Amino acid sequence: MTFDPRILKQIDAQPYPLLFATISGAHLYGFPSPDSGVHVLPLAEVVGLNEGHETIEVSGIFDGLEVDLVTHDARKFFLLMLKKNGYVLEQLYSPLVVRTTPEHEELKQIGRGCITRHHAHHYFGFAETQWKLFEKESPRRVKPLLYVYRALLTGIHLMRTGEVEANLLKLNEQYPLPYVPDLVARKLAGPERSTLGDDGFTFHRGEYERLRTELQAAFDESTLPEGPSAQPALHNLLLRLRNSGL
């Protein structure tokens, strides 16, 4: 896949070696917006008095391109992987890979041991937050509604298959919601078409409740483990990364 050289320029300008950098956020979800990655702090900035930056954020317009780049130190990212945090899984398994390393591929294998049935709570919470945003707005924007459907379908798919799929259009092929293509088209058409009238609110509230019920059922029936098993492997990988400096 070819990426805008202005994005690559900002990634290459990062002060620490990158384990990986991927595209996440709205571009990944299928309705384009941020880049994410993991950097490795050198040993001297972890055990010494001069502490390195656990998180680096770059945001702004560069050469006419809007860039929103966030990277975390490997330790911070690994600890997040051990929690029920769907964001880091989506970043790790994003198919939109800007920078990669052999250790990135290793991390994806280790990451399988971080996926648990309790990741469903992340998607319940994210969908609820976006629904409340959609509900209170006037006029109501399409974007938070798309995030609602994306989160619920990602959660349902994860509970049923153990696979991380964040792209709403791909999810819609397996769990068809006939109104999704029109919502995505409205979002992509620009601000003038990206709002909805009150006449569809009751329908979408019903769909929101229905899909929440489906996610609850998928959680109840899921055979995914209760907790992560990958901590030893993550620990060993982190030690190797620190020692090698990537």
Residue 16 has pLDDT above 60, yes or no: yes
pLDDT (mean) for 89-95: 94
Does domain 5-115+226-244 correspond to CATH entry 3.30.460.10? yes
Distance CA 115, CA 97 (A): 21
Residue 117 has pLDDT above 80, yes or no: yes
In sequence order, which residues have a C-beta less than 8 Å from that of residue 178 and are 6 or more positions away? none
Q: Between 217 and 48, where is the model more confident?
A: 217
**For residue 119, what are its two tokens?**
């990741």
Distance CA 74, CA 242 (A): 9
Three-point CA angle 150, 153, 154, nearest 5°:
80
Three-point CA angle 22, 24, 26, nearest 5°:
150
Closest by CA to 14, choosing from 63, 57, 76, is 57
Q: What's the pLDDT band for 47 if we cut at 50, 70, 90? A: low
Distance CA 36, CA 72 (A): 8
Q: Is 142 exposed, middle or buried (0-12, 13-18, 19+ CB in 10 A)?
A: buried
Run of H or E including 12: helix 5-12
Beta bridge partners of 38: 20, 72
| pTM (2 d.p.) | 0.88
